[in-house]
A and B are shown apart, each in its own frame.
Chain A
Amino acid sequence: MGLKGKLHEIKQKYKGKKMAPAFNALHTFLYSPDETTHSGSHIRVVDDLKRTMNTVIMALIPVLLFSMFNTGYQHFSAINGFPENFSLMEHFLTWDNFWIGIIKVLPLVVVSYGVGLGVEFLFAVIKGHEVEEGYLVTGMLVPLIVPIDTPLWMLTVAVVFGVVIGKEVFGGTGMNILNPALTIRAFLFFAYPTWMSGDKVWVYDAVNLAGTPDAISGETILGSMAQGKEFSYSVSDMFFGFVPGSVGETSAFLILLGGLFLIFSKIASWRIMVSAVIGSLVMGLMFNQVVELGWITETSKFHGLMDFDFWKHLIVGGLAFGIVYMATDPVTGAQTNKGKWIYGFLIGFLSVMIRVFNPAYPEGVFLAILLMNVFAPTIDHYVIQGNVKRRMKRMKNATIVPKDSGQKAEELKVETV
């Protein structure tokens, strides 16, 4: 008897026992289950939640690999200065850079998955339901949206908070109101504000070296702009992602590829992505116009960010990452097609607005998405009301045939046995 048969025996043995969900989670990971259809349609499509989640993870892998190199690149560049005549192979895709990625990024991934899945398994065993796959994507998103120098204990606390309060208290995968990954990010931001903002956490070792003669700075572009400082990154640096920032947010190029892959595979909603891009461009254009019309002076603290070319908002900071991977979360986003347009547009619009108006929160995108998560059911409600109203109107105009009040059908005399 092979592995398949043995696992089947164990499954039968533990059926209904307390640890069954934990075993089943591992079993169904190895083998897709032997479950057949019981009611309704006798055949089903091959897609399941594991495959869906796996597709999103696949779209995140290039971003993760890039971030591992970029971590090292930013670290060494901050110490030695950015290389002149930058060459991808010589300065970026090097083992030295990758090694920094391994010792800094990988632990974030391990902690995120280890702690998050631990909590999921615990809840599954306690509540006796199967381990659902939602955390597979969340676990990958979390390390990519935190600053590189986030201490692992902070991440642990945040992940426990995010999974329990953000998801499990609502009933687990599919029931949550807020995006769990963003809940974790928001918890980090508001619980440890001095650590999480500022110019030290974005580049590895900047914190340790602060105050020493070797001190390095790792200001993000948005951080510099909010303070009215100059920055020296070119547009192509920003687009391809050779800039400091949260672990995985920097490369707009790879995020774009990931987004196209998700749209092609029909996993993520193109409506949300497109409308969010439109929304951010519209807001950016409006700010550009304000500057152009001379409504604010150069001394204004908003001037730097308002003057920033509208389309560049998409390639700096976490906006692109948020639009592609976070706004498209189907559980917390709008669920109707029309609603998705409105929801996405407002995310883009508000992200740029928060970014410009509140220099303390240069990363407006996560706040914008969380805010719209809360409003998504309201948006859907009004979209659905449109359908309901149409139905009500139709009913009003209909002439309803009354019940047969005339003679009854010929009574048949029947006897029971």
Chain B
Amino acid sequence: MSKDISIKKGLNINLVGAAEQTTSIAVLSNVYVINLDDFHGLVPKMLVKQGAEVKVGEVLFYNKNKTDMLFVSPVGGELIEIQRGARRRILTLKILADKKQETLEHTILDFANAGAQEIKAYLLKGGCWPFIKQRPYDIIADPTIAPKAIFISGLATAPLAADIDYVLQGKEKELQAAVSALGKLTPGKVHISVGSSSSSPLAGLNEIELHKILGPHPAGLVGTQINKIDPINKGEVVWTIAPQDLIVIGELLLTGKFNPERIVALVGSSVKVPKYYKTKIGAEISTFLYASGVNTENFRVINGDVLTGAKSSQDGCLGFYNNTVTAIPEGDDYEFFGWAKPVFNKISATRAMTFSWLRPKKKYDLTTNANGEHRAFVVTGQYEKVFPMDIFPMQLLKACMVKDLDEMEQLGLYEVAPEDFSLTEFVCISKQPHQQIIREGLDLLQKEIG
């Protein structure tokens, strides 16, 4: 039995450049990069030296604070560079792919009969643990704490995000294996949400609690769904996993191999032919970006969707968690009386001489221009219109800014991740960096309270 959840508050952002539902196989990448920024708050400790040869799935480094949490190589080859930043912090690892592409094989775990500890150890050893994230704090899950429930959102409502139903096609076996195994790690349920009219492979799985979600973005964000299904209380932990990562987990369980392959949507108005590519975690973005072609010189490559993605570049590599790569034009230009004239070609949350409300279905070609300067919070009530959680968004942001731990707790910081504030950030008239504020708030809360 599925339960229907209807979200009313929110905003669908229609952009030019949605991916056509065809998949090409991307050219093999020469080098693969692991960007340590993908793992927020992680202190890595290297296990192999620069110049070492690794196989696919072989350990590169581990978490210094949780030594059994291993991070493995998505590719076979030579570790050619360890880029370090200030205080010798590791920034990126660069691996030169070889021709053999040998894969490290683990003995297959009989997960149907295995206990929770065995499954946990197997996922940690196989390099799949980092796919599991936890809330509070939106970090890689702590393996020593059992979550009260696991949440998986099978619905992408973010602008131009990859269609999850499409990328999961034909992977029922892997998905089932993953949710069956993960289900043993929690005394609670595995909640999976799909669109109300979707034919998602997730909908047919066993041992799960299925929810059907209806409504505009951020209905597809897992944080919204948690808030509606089973909100997090202080002291509780829930796990969240992106559906495309379930495939990797499932494959490790079924075959004993770490297979970092995934289908990525290349989208955005700067891309000539937006479509799907089959590639691997850490692969160079240029291997598929130029296959589709770009129609402008000055554009920004984003690892992820336009609201939550990380800024990358043409030379960048696919992030660990991403299944969307977006390219949109940079907006570093002035506009004559841009604040006063009527606007038809940009999205607005108001009707102040802006006319996007006239054509809600129109697709817009937005640039990275901030459309204004950073200001103090002035206008009220605008965030609440696009924020469906039972939380006061502006008050929570202010609590984070003034670093008031009590208030952060009371107003529900445990329940949110930075991505939940991506839409309020988008509509913000004062151009405040909401996601950064929430991230800093979460970091502080974790440091002080743990």
Contact = CB atoms under 8 A, between A and B. Distances in A.
The yes or no verdict on A and B being binding partners is yes
A37 B376 contact: no
B101 interface: no
A31 B435 contact: no
A407 interface: yes
A417 B411 contact: no
A175 B401 CA distance: 14
A37 B332 CA distance: 9
B434 to A, nearest CB: 6
What bracket does the count of chain B residues touching chain A fall in?
35 or more
Contacts of A230: none
Contacts of A34: 331-334, 369
A55 B391 contact: no
Contact of B381 (A38, A44, A171, A330): A330
Contact of B233 (A28, A38, A58, A395): A395
Interface string B54-95: 000001001000011010000000000000000000000000
B63 to A, nearest CB: 10
B170 interface: no
Interface string A279-303: 0000000000000000000000000
A90 interface: no
Nearest to B385: A266
A6 to B, nearest CB: 11
Given A266-B350, A387-B392, A48 B339 contact: yes
Given A387-B411, A390-B390, A404-B146, A47 B429 contact: yes
B48 A55 contact: no
B368 A43 contact: yes
Interface in A33-66: 33-52, 54-55, 58
Given A31-B335, A43-B366, A403-B145, A267 B350 contact: yes
A30 B340 CA distance: 10
B137 to A, nearest CB: 15
Contacts of B429: 45, 47-49, 52
A49 B425 contact: no
Contacts of A89: none
A130 interface: yes
Contacts of B159: 43
A412 B302 contact: no
A131 to B, nearest CB: 10
Contacts of B13: 43
A416 B410 CA distance: 41
Contact of B368 (A30, A36, A404): A36
Main secondary structure of the interface of A (DSSP, over half): loop
Interface in B279-329: 300, 302, 306-309, 311, 326, 328
Contact of A50 (B188, B308, B336, B372): B372
A51 B339 contact: yes
Contacts of A409: 68, 117, 120-121, 124, 143-144
Contacts of B346: 45-46
B411 A43 contact: no
Nearest to A42: B306
A237 interface: no
Contacts of B231: 394
Contacts of B180: none
B97 interface: no
Contacts of B146: 401, 404
Most buried by A among B15, B349, B371: B371
Nearest to B382: A266
B426 interface: yes
Contact of A46 (B49, B330, B336, B371): B371
Interface string A387-417: 1101110110010110110111111101111
B380 A330 contact: yes
B448 to A, nearest CB: 19
A409 to B, nearest CB: 5
Nearest to A8: B334
A217 interface: no
B343 A46 contact: yes
Contacts of A407: 117
Given A173-B375, A409-B124, A395 B234 contact: yes
A384 interface: yes
Interface stretch (A240-248, A315-323, A331-339, A366-374): A331-339
A172 interface: yes
Contacts of A416: 45-47
A47 B13 CA distance: 15
Contacts of B204: none
A365 B308 CA distance: 45
Given A41-B422, A42-B368, A44-B428, A31 B380 contact: no
Nearest to A58: B353
Interface of B: 13, 15, 45-49, 59, 62, 67-68, 70, 117-118, 120-121, 124-125, 143-148, 159, 187-188, 231, 233-237, 300, 302, 306-309, 311, 326, 328, 330-340, 343, 346-354, 356, 366-381, 384, 390-392, 394-395, 410-412, 418, 421-423, 425-431, 433-436
27 contacts: A31-B334, A31-B335, A31-B336, A32-B338, A32-B339, A34-B369, A36-B367, A40-B421, A43-B368, A44-B370, A45-B371, A45-B427, A46-B346, A48-B431, A49-B378, A54-B353, A132-B375, A174-B377, A174-B378, A266-B350, A266-B352, A335-B380, A387-B411, A398-B233, A400-B233, A408-B144, A414-B45
Interface of A: 4, 7-8, 28-52, 54-55, 58, 130, 132-134, 171-175, 264-267, 269, 330-331, 333, 335-337, 340, 380, 384, 387-388, 390-392, 394-395, 398, 400-401, 403-404, 406-412, 414-417
